[in-house]
Amino acid sequence: MKRIASLLLAACLLAAPQLTGKAQAEGFALSDFGARGTALAGGMVARADDPSAVAWNPAGITQLPGTQIMVGMTAIQPSGTVDTVDRFGIGRSTDVDKHTWANPHAYLTHQFSDNLWGGIGIFSRFGLGNSYPTNWPGRENLKYVSLKTVSLNPNLAFKINDNLSLAVGLEFMYATMLMKKDGDLGKMTGSPLLSGRYDQQMLTGSSIAPGFNLAAHYKFNEEWAAGLTYRSRVKQAVRGHVEFENKNPVPGLVNLPNSDLHGNLNLPDTISFGVMWKPMETLSFEAGTVYTVWSNYR
């Protein structure tokens, strides 16, 4: 079965009912790379002056002397309501279950010389998940879904001169996916005698795939700086399984075999740009934008 990616992506859309057109805002494209960056609403591409620059703009690590380490975690608790209408036209609203997701990160930077720095980061660029009550009307489509990614990102940064720094890095992204739903035994077997009897179906998949990143940081003077980061698309070749909780719910009559799944999941490339103005040592402003090539997400 090759449809694991499309099934899980459709499930992710169900997991975030307001996702359309606002995928990053709804939490799929993550930007929780550090507490400071989160507090600054992502205004770190031009600043890039702490170890989380490995994720925001690796070229900025040339501003960090010696060896520096940063470790942290962000807690994410999605909420939402799904409105459904049954075949008789009766509407119903269902609140998603409360669930807290942990999003950890860790960074290490080191200055090798006056012109060469290295940095490595562990963080998540994409992730989404939700769960629904056991008896909600859409349980045959979705009860639980999660898509998690973890990136290992080593970088080298070069200080070309006092103004310009460039960086290049590799990304090794691990992705894991899980979806649970209820299957109507009557529909799956074609037997009207089993209609209304359910068995939980679980789809799992995982993959690891490479990507790369390029970055630049330019200091015009002590007040103004700009940053640019490109992160490539990551093509995941997902392999997994579909499993039933009770493979033989009616001995001698029903046998629900487990099977293998495989498919492709393309996570999109992103381009981040920012400009910072620092009029005084204790005050700075940054404006920026992130362009995500969602047409590559499929």
User: CB under 8 Å to 158, separation ≥6 — which residues?
Assistant: 62, 115, 116, 117, 165, 166, 167
Cβ-contact 97, 132 below 8 angstroms: yes
Report domain extents, the chain.
25-85+99-296
Helix (H) or strand (E) holding 7: helix 4-15
pLDDT at 20: 35
Report whether pLDDT(84) > 90: no
DSSP class of residue 269 equals P
pTM for this one? Answer: 0.84
pLDDT in tens, 101-154: 888 999 999 999 999 999 999 999 998 888 888 778 777 778 888 889 999 999
Question: What distances in angstroms separate CA 258 from CA 153, 199, 247, one per listed residue?
Answer: 36, 13, 8
The pLDDT mean for the chain works out to 84
Question: What distances in angstroms separate CA 2 from CA 9, 262, 265, 278, one per listed residue?
Answer: 13, 5, 11, 52
pLDDT in tens, 220-270: 999 999 999 999 999 999 898 888 777 666 665 666 777 888 888 889 999
pLDDT at 26: 47
- Give me the CATH topology for the region 25-85+99-296: Porin (2.40.160)
